[in-house]
A and B are shown apart, each in its own frame.
Chain A
Amino acid sequence: MLRRRLLDRLDVPTIAAALALAAVGMTAIASATSQQPGRAGLWKTQLAWLGIASLAAVVVIAVDYHIWAEFSLSLHGVTVALLVAVLLFGKEVGGNRSWLAVGPVTFQPSEFAKWTTCLAIAAFLAKRVHDRIRFVQALQLGAIIGVPMLLIAKQPDFGTALTFVPIALAAVLLGGLRWRVVALAMCLVALLAPVGWRHLKPYQKERILTVVDPGRDPSGIGYQVRQSKIAVGSGRLTGKGLFKGTQTRLNFLPAQHTDFVLAVIAEELGFIGAAGVLALFYYLLYRGLLAARSSQDRLGTYLSLLAVSWLTGQAAINIGMVLGLMPTIGVPLPFLSYGGTALISVMCGIGLIANVRGRRFVN
């Protein structure tokens, strides 16, 4: 009976939108890597990952979200333990110790941390008695978000750590923090910013300064931003055609199949392609909001809204980077960028939304 209801209530539009985005991403990955030795078949790997991610999403949808919430803190605890393990035994890739190897499989616990964080916050907010966040609760929330975030920043993977910021903001907004506290926190951040600036590595400072002044060092740090903007801009209205982007194929564009995959789409499919991706994202996020509104309880609402916030924030950071509005920072575009763990993670996020949507009140 449960199985039948699940099939009846499966949130097909949401899942379809997610799969559509993933399909666009795979096309772009295929185009971006077709000229790169040893990477030509990467889109197939991504397809395999999509299969695994879909399976994971099915598991997420199949289990009632109340049960997920019940075990949220345990799950979150396991993730935090994995993050600690990463720091101790992790595999270093490109200067970042963010990978954990289990047999032949390597994965990034930091990607799962986003999912468990959303789950844990939603459970925490739904469970409390008061409507507003109090001091103790603020500390508890801070621990839920801050611990994985700091562990990830320690890897050091500032890009992934940064994606926790929109989740935290959403938690505060949805949880109902007093404006006075918000103002106080902002003052604190403003005061601590110069201290943090001093702790940044020189290349990170360069990246931030490049956003302010794109002409800065056009062959160095500014190079990636500049080449990305050239790729996007030269796509014009209809693009250069799939597999015909010169910026992409001649390697001017950095990290074409991962962080800058949207630039590939914008170059080869033009404004129409870019607008299409934005539209798909909007539709997906709108479905999330819809799930929140029609949820049978607050837990469902919180879960959906947090998942929406996470995906929105991560997408915004990535697109902002591609368009040169944000510092160059390694954040994948949800569903589109190449990367198995990230895909599983966001599909599980979509799973939460579909889960809530599928268990809404039916009149």
Chain B
Amino acid sequence: MDYRERWELKEYQSEQRLGTRAALLHAVIVIVLAGFLGVFWYLQIVKGDEFALLAENNRLRRIALPPTRGVVLDRWDEVLASTRPALNLVLVREGLTDAEGQLKRLERLLGIPYDGLNARLQAMRRRPTFEPLVIKEDVQLADIAKVEARREWFPSVEVEQTALRDYPDGPAVAHAVGYVGEVNESQLAKIADGSLQQGDIVGKTGIEREYDEVLRGRRGWKLQTVNSLGRPLGSSQPGRDPVDGDPLRLTIDKRLQRKLVESLADEVGSGIFMNPNTGEVLALASTPGYDPNVFTAPVSRTTWTALISDPRHPLNDRAISSFYAPGSTFKVLMTIAGLETGAITPQTTVFCSGSAMIYNRKFMCWKKGGHGTVDVHRALVQSCNVFYYLLGRKIGIDAISKYAKMFGIGELSGIDIPGESRGNPPSVEWKQRIHKEPWYPGDTISVSIGQGLLAVTPVQMATMISAVANGGSLVRPHLARDARLESAKLPVSSGTLALIRDALADVVEEGTATRAQLGPIRVAGKTGTAQVFKKSVGVDADKQPKDERDHAWFIGYAPAEHPEIAFAIVIEHGGHGGTTAAPVARKVLEVFFQDRLPHKDAVPALEASLTARPEIRSATTPTAR
């Protein structure tokens, strides 16, 4: 074994030296391993519970269980908004083969563009594969049948169930009920109690928004075991069941609502009908409208852009947020102010020659030849401007302001729909604040006939005329049936109101609003024409270009003796209130009073002749004048 000897010959290094170095290595090993033991101790024993929790959070994912949104009903429990199951066509991305072929066949079969689908599929590449691609939302059964019939073409296409908000009447209820959508960042930030989370559906406008907390319900959750990709595995543990939203009963009468929208037709305008005694809103509409159903599924960009960029602003709720000069309808308030301040009495007369010189300026009456001698009743019925010019000059802006404010002009009506405007109250203070100008005496004269520095919303006028109708109580308009009733008795004498009500009945009977007449039911009201700046002067209103025509107002109530329904209607650029706005009111009132009206048809339908209608007709006819 010579090889061994050769190695032994070289043994002249001291054993000790190597021994020291070995001991050093040993020390290093001990220190390193002891250090690791210490770290294990720290992670597993000291911090163990903390990491155990983290592991649990890793493993278990809270799966939100959305509640079913409460149904919205009208006053007869007819459905205005509900939640319905909907079917989505989805492409399962797990084990997906021949995506191109499947998508192309879909394009041929259902006309869904391949390029768009493919782009969305590519955009999902970084998402976990168990999340499917939604091919089409709320797909029709016929389309599903087409796909199912060709199952072998679409191995990865499946049908998935979801819930969608459904508005069976679509545009007819848009501005009253509103619409829902996915919660946005600002709403999430506002409601910090954790009741909302990304992806939740909340009310965006109207009743849906105002009563969102009632309708929304409470989200539930379950605990689901997931893997590192988030894919659910095995069974889930129960957490909390969702609490469905409560139903919301509205004071809206779907029949009136439909009729109002139908009657406004293609006009731009709005109308509000309410019970003058309680403030219950029976119908509220703004045109042009929109279909709230388009917002339930994620809105396509084109739909949204179309709604936003429409110059007629269909998303605006004109009934509560648009303000206009009230025109002659303001004369109702002027009369109250005049009688209550004692500036005039029922016997006071004024001579109208067709114009009046006030403050060295000529103010015109609308009737060129003048009304001759008019008392307050005749002035209101004939809407004589001269009478009110003189009255305004006599009582002054402060008195006008006081009574306007008393009747809710320039104040929020408190209606339970978000987005109400205040309008411009007729006041010195307001003009100074906004226009930075002093109040000129001439301003008062314009305000006296409802023009100039004064703007009101339809809901304010409806509230005002309701107070006249109900004998002097300012009620809060509301749409929720169990909303708190609020009414404030105004310090106005019953004599004043009686005079006005008498005059308003005559306005329909023989004055400017004869088109609102409703047979045996006596309607009371006041027309108004809000001036719009125009280039063409001295042309008859009906012949002016549409966008230069004045806004048409009609406010009122019925029956004149014991009012059950009050209303305010504005038609933008509608010209004379009596021509365009009054017929809208009549059509809606016809529906409201249909049981008390004689049948319009010369030959009654068979079913009508079998009902008790003839008796009702004979019973109600004598009460009509």
Evaluate contact between A233 and B13: CB separation under 8 angstroms: no
B125 on the A face (CB < 8 A): no
Candidates B4, B33, B45; contact of A236 at CB < 8 Å:
B45
Binds A, one of B224-232, B313-321, B437-445, B531-539: B224-232
Find residues 214-248 in chain A having any chain B CB closer than 8 Å to their own CB: 227, 229-237, 246-247
- Is B17 on the interface with A (CB-CB < 8 A)? yes
Contact A274 B22 (CB under 8 A): no
Q: Mark B371-400, 1 if CB is under 8 A from A, else 0.
A: 000000000000000000000000000000
Q: Contacts A233-B47, A251-B227, A316-B32: A127 and B10 contacting too (C-beta < 8 A)?
A: yes
Write the nearest CB–CB distance from B128 to chain A, whole angstroms: 12
CB of A234 within 8 A of CB of B54, answer: yes
CB distance from B38 to the nearest CB of A (A): 10
Task: With A289-B22, A293-B19, A301-B18 as known contacts, state yes or no: A247 contacts B37, CB within 8 Å.
Answer: no
Chain B minimum-CB-distance residue to A65: B7
Q: In the bound complex, what is the Cα–Cα distance between A309 and B21 (angstroms)?
A: 12
**Inside 8 A of A129's CB, which chain B residues have their CB?**
10
A21 to chain B, nearest CB (A): 14
A237–B45 CB distance below 8 A? yes
B3 is contacted by which of A67, A236, A274 (Cβ under 8 Å)?
A67
A250 cross-chain contacts in B, Cβ below 8 A: 58-59, 225-228, 233
**Complex-state Cα separation, A267 to B50, whole angstroms:** 14
* Complex interface: stretch among B23-31, B161-169, B209-217, B362-370: B23-31
Of the candidates B4, B32, B59, the one whose C-beta lies within 8 Å of that of A312 is B32
* Minimum C-beta distance from B9 to chain A (A): 10
A47 to chain B, nearest CB (A): 27
Q: A233-B52, A323-B36 are in contact. Are A293 and B22 (CB under 8 A)?
A: yes
Which residue in B7, B19, B22, B51 is a CB contact (below 8 Å) of A234? Answer: B51
Q: Are B58 and A246 in contact (CB under 8 A)?
A: yes
Q: Which residues of A contact B28 (CB under 8 A)?
A: 312
Within 8 A of A (CB), among B42-97: 43-45, 47-52, 54-56, 58-59
User: Which chain B residue shows the least CB distance to A311?
Assistant: B29
B185 at the interface (CB under 8 A from A): no
Given A292-B22, A293-B22, A298–B55 Cβ distance below 8 Å?
A: no
Question: Is residue B39 contacting chain A, with contact meaning CB distance below 8 A?
Answer: yes
Query: Are B48 and A233 in contact, CB atoms less than 8 angstroms apart?
Result: yes
Residues of B within 8 A of A237 (CB): 44-45, 48
Q: Are B228 and A252 in contact (CB under 8 A)?
A: yes
**CB 8 Å contact bits of A113-147 with B (1 = contact, 0 = none):** 00000000000001111010000000000000000
Interface residues of A in 264-290 (CB under 8 A from B): 266-267, 270-271, 274-275, 278, 281-282, 285-286, 289
Residue of B whose beta carbon sits closest to that of A319: B36
When distances are taken between beta carbons in the complex, the residues of chain A under 8 Å from B228 are 227, 250-252
Q: Interface digits, A57-83 against B, CB 8 Å rule (1 contact, 0 not)?
A: 000000010110110000000000000
Quote the shortest CB–CB distance from B557 to chain A (angstroms): 65
Task: Say yes or no: is A176 at the interface (Cβ < 8 Å to chain B).
Answer: yes
Residue of A nearest to B43 (CB): A233
Contacts of A15 in B (CB 8 A): none
Q: Is A342 an interface residue (CB 8 A)?
A: no
A297 at the interface (CB under 8 A from B): yes
A281 touches B33 (CB 8 A): yes
Complex-state Cα separation, A67 to B39, whole angstroms:
42
| Known A-B contacts A251-B227, A271-B45; A297 and B7 likewise in contact (beta carbons under 8 Å) | yes
Within the assembled complex, what's the spacing in Å between the Cα atoms of A278 and B34?
Answer: 9
**Contact in complex: A301, B58 (CB < 8 Å):** no
CB distance from A162 to the nearest CB of B (A): 15
Q: Is B40 an interface residue (CB 8 A)?
A: yes
Instruction: Decide if B58 touches A289 in the complex (CB within 8 Å).
Output: no
With a cutoff of 8 Å between Cβ atoms, the chain A residues found around residue B48 in the complex are 233-237, 271
B11 at the interface (CB under 8 A from A): yes
In the assembled complex, which residues on chain B have CB atoms less than 8 Å from the CB atom of A286? Answer: 26, 29
Interface size counted on chain A using CB atoms at 8 A = 56
CB neighbours of B11 from chain A (8 A): 297-298
Q: Which residues of B contact A292 (CB under 8 A)?
A: 22
Task: List the B side residues contacting A271 at CB < 8 Å.
Answer: 40-41, 44-45, 48
Does B615 make an interface contact (CB < 8 A)? no
B39 touches A325 (CB 8 A): yes
Closest residue on chain A to residue B13 by CB atoms: A131
Considering only CB atoms, which chain B residue lies closest to A129 in the complex?
Answer: B10
Query: Complex formed: what's the CA distance from A297 to B12 in Å?
Result: 10
Residues of B within 8 Å of A170, CB to CB, are 25
CA distance A267 to B59 in the complex (A): 14
CB distance from A339 to the nearest CB of B (A): 21
Residues of A within 8 A of B52 (CB): 233-234, 236
B50 & A247 in contact (Cβ 8 Å cutoff): no
Check A126/B10 contact, CB under 8 A, given A66-B4, A233-B44, A250-B59. Answer: yes
CA distance A308 to B39 in the complex (A): 22
* CB pair B44 A66 closer than 8 Å: no
Please tell me if B8 contacts chain A, counting CB pairs below 8 Å.
yes
| Interchain CB contact under 8 A, B36 and A247 | no
Q: Does A174 contact B (CB under 8 A)?
A: yes
CB of B40 within 8 A of CB of A274, answer yes
Q: CB < 8 Å: which of B13, B26, B39, B45 contacts A298?
A: B13
Q: How far is the CA of A170 from the CA of B26 in the complex (A)?
A: 12
Tell whether A356 is near chain B: CB-to-CB under 8 Å.
no
A347 part of interface (Cβ distance < 8 Å): no
Q: Is the CB of B227 within 8 A of A297?
A: no
Interchain CA distance A303-B21 in the complex, whole Å: 14
Contact A174 B36 (CB under 8 A): no
Counting chain A CB atoms within 10 Å of each CB, the highest count among B14, B47, B225 belongs to: B47
Residues of B within 8 Å of A236, CB to CB, are: 44-45, 48-49, 52
Q: Would you list which residues of chain B between 426 and 470 have a CB under 8 Å from chain A?
A: none
Q: B152 to chain A: closest CB distance in Å?
A: 26
Q: Is the CB of A266 within 8 A of B40?
A: yes
The chain A residue sitting closest to B226, CB to CB, is A250
Is A299 interfacial (CB-CB < 8 Å)?
Answer: yes
Let me know if B29 and A131 touch, CB within 8 A: no
Q: Please measure, in the bound complex, the distance between the C-alpha atom of A322 and the C-alpha atom of B39, giving whole angstroms.
A: 11
- Residue pair A252, B58 in contact (C-beta under 8 Å): yes
- Complex Cα–Cα for A246 and B53 (A): 12
Instruction: Pick the contact of B55: A247, A270, A299, A325 (CB < 8 A).
Output: A247
A305 beta carbon closer than 8 Å to chain B: yes
Determine if A230 and B58 form an interchain contact, defined as CB atoms under 8 angstroms apart: yes
Q: Which residues of A contact B54 (CB under 8 A)?
A: 230, 233-234
A309 to B8, CA, bound (A): 24
* A16 contacts partner chain B, Cβ-Cβ < 8 Å: no
A312 to B33, CA, bound (A): 9
Taking CB atoms, residues of chain A closer than 8 Å to B24 are 173
Known: A129-B10, A230-B51, A233-B51. A309 touches B25 (CB 8 A): yes
| Complexed CA–CA distance, A230 and B59 (Å) | 11
Q: Are A247 and B58 in contact (CB under 8 A)?
A: yes
**Smallest CB-CB separation from B46: which chain A residue?**
A233
CB of B10 within 8 A of CB of A289, answer no
> Are B25 and A308 in contact, with the CB atoms below 8 A?
yes
- Whether A270 pairs with B25 at a CB distance below 8 angstroms is no
CA distance A131 to B33 in the complex (A): 30
Q: A278, B29: Cβ atoms under 8 Å?
A: no
Whether B25 pairs with A289 at a CB distance below 8 angstroms is yes
Complex Cα distance A297/B4, Å?
10
Q: Which residues of chain B are within 8 angstroms of A128 by Cβ–Cβ distance?
A: 10
Chain A: CB-nearest residue to B3: A66
**A90-B244 Cα distance, complex, nearest whole Å:** 64
Given contact pairs A229-B51, A250-B225, A293-B19, a sample of 13 additional A-B residue pairs in the complex whose CB atoms are under 8 Å apart: A173-B24, A230-B51, A235-B48, A237-B48, A246-B59, A247-B58, A282-B29, A282-B30, A289-B22, A293-B22, A297-B8, A316-B32, A316-B36
Can you pick out 16 interface pairs between chain A and chain B where the beta carbons lie within 8 Å of each other? Answer: A64-B4, A126-B7, A176-B21, A229-B51, A233-B51, A234-B51, A234-B55, A250-B226, A251-B227, A266-B44, A271-B48, A278-B33, A289-B22, A301-B18, A308-B25, A312-B25
Closest 8 A-B residue pairs measured CB to CB?
A: A233-B51, A236-B48, A234-B55, A251-B228, A271-B44, A233-B43, A250-B227, A234-B52
